[in-house]
Chain A
């Protein structure tokens, strides 16, 4: 550790006058090294242990909020920037295939791989386009975790939080998480108590039973096309 800060630290711990004697000095140094190494080990420990689910949401939320604060283009609703933000900050933490499957419901089982791929892509576009408008509201918000209910060690956990701003009532935001290795993935989100999956399930079922899965896919495409047209206007 050649860096000067470290040297001054070790010097302040080990003033030369106190430890002039060789063996004592060596023992103290050994102790110091042990401490340093254990610190390194502790810092790396989360890589080996399961992250707490609420901690996970807190970290992801804080990172996303910070990026929104620092990038005016996102808050202004620049579609390309918003899409990149979502792809980089949100999507890596979402099991979007499961989210789509849950929203589509029973018809998912009959869907071909190609239909599934299209459903996932169109649903993702729909959510990103419509909810990106809300990002401009998030510039003054901070996240506050609500107490975790249930067992943090379970395979699926409900994590509850709220976004707090300088003005206005707190905005409730809850997440359903599934265990993904050492980490977690989100597979449903609610805002003010309204779950995304449940909100779309009735609409998707209605559309699919009236026009079939391909009908549902083309309705989604049509929706997204309209949204793209109106946002570029």
Chain B
């Protein structure tokens, strides 16, 4: 998430100038652009990020990886709490802040996750979801360079999230970069099991990922309980 804004700006500008190509679905008017960013991300992932994540999983003890994951999860809990508050869920927000307090104090800065064992579960919230709860539609699907699948709404959420990111507050540039990169590797490593599934399951990986992403986000905005919309496509009759 370093230097995100110039990239984002470039995407939006490129989207504006490339025009809207034909054949795109209603939710993905920028499909030609998105596909090229997707291909770029994919090449970068295969050439660099995925191998690093695989080495990380292979050589670093699971206990250590668990601790690394816990630390980043702990750092993100206050922002999750803020978003729960903004979504009108004060009880969950209180839980998130309590999690941060408990894990920071009793688990030495979040090395462990005592709060979960005490019955305070982790929540999955971000500013993109908050905007969704406020009624902002997801807008066109957008593949962000380096960051992957998103939408106009969720990209706005990513920017807000990066502004609130505690890692930004680290003074030394070297340390800040090291922490940010470790977080990227940790996040990528946690997604490794999905690679094989997507490779095997998808006829077209771009379409597969787009569809899965949009469904997943809708589900998250509604906290696992989206309205059961009637099928847009009529059921084929015998």
Contact = CB atoms under 8 A, between A and B. Distances in A.
B197 A204 contact: no
B25 interface: yes
B204 A194 contact: no
A133 B197 contact: yes
A199 B212 contact: yes
A22 B143 CA distance: 87
Contacts of B211: 194, 198-199, 201-203
Nearest to A231: B200
A152 to B, nearest CB: 15
Contacts of B228: 149-150, 158
A206 B202 CA distance: 12
A102 B236 contact: yes
Interface string B215-238: 110111000111010010111110
A201 B196 CA distance: 21
A193 B219 contact: yes
A200 to B, nearest CB: 8
A146 B219 CA distance: 15
Interface string B195-214: 01100111110011011100
B220 A193 contact: yes
Nearest to A132: B200
B121 interface: yes
A107 B211 CA distance: 20
B50 interface: no
Contacts of B236: 101-102, 104-109
Nearest to B202: A203
Contacts of A137: 193
Interface string A121-135: 000001101110110
B204 A199 contact: no
A158 B230 CA distance: 12
Interface residues of A, number: 41
B224 A195 contact: no
B65 interface: no
A130 B196 CA distance: 8
B176 interface: no
Contacts of B121: 169
Interface in A154-190: 158, 160, 169, 172, 190
A205 to B, nearest CB: 9
Nearest to A107: B236
B188 interface: no
B183 interface: no
A106 B122 CA distance: 42
Given A104-B236, A201-B233, A207 B204 contact: yes
Given A106-B236, A193-B226, A202 B207 contact: yes
B43 to A, nearest CB: 20
Most B-side CB within 10 Å, residue of A107, A160, A194, A230: A194
23 contacts: A104-B236, A105-B233, A127-B201, A130-B197, A133-B193, A133-B197, A137-B193, A149-B225, A160-B224, A160-B225, A169-B124, A172-B219, A193-B215, A193-B218, A193-B219, A193-B226, A199-B211, A202-B210, A202-B211, A203-B204, A204-B203, A206-B203, A206-B204
Interface of A: 101-102, 104-109, 126-127, 129-131, 133-134, 137, 149-150, 158, 160, 169, 172, 190, 192-195, 198-204, 206-207, 219-220, 223, 227, 230
What are the nearest 5 A-B pairs in CB distance?
Answer: A193-B219, A108-B236, A130-B201, A130-B200, A203-B203
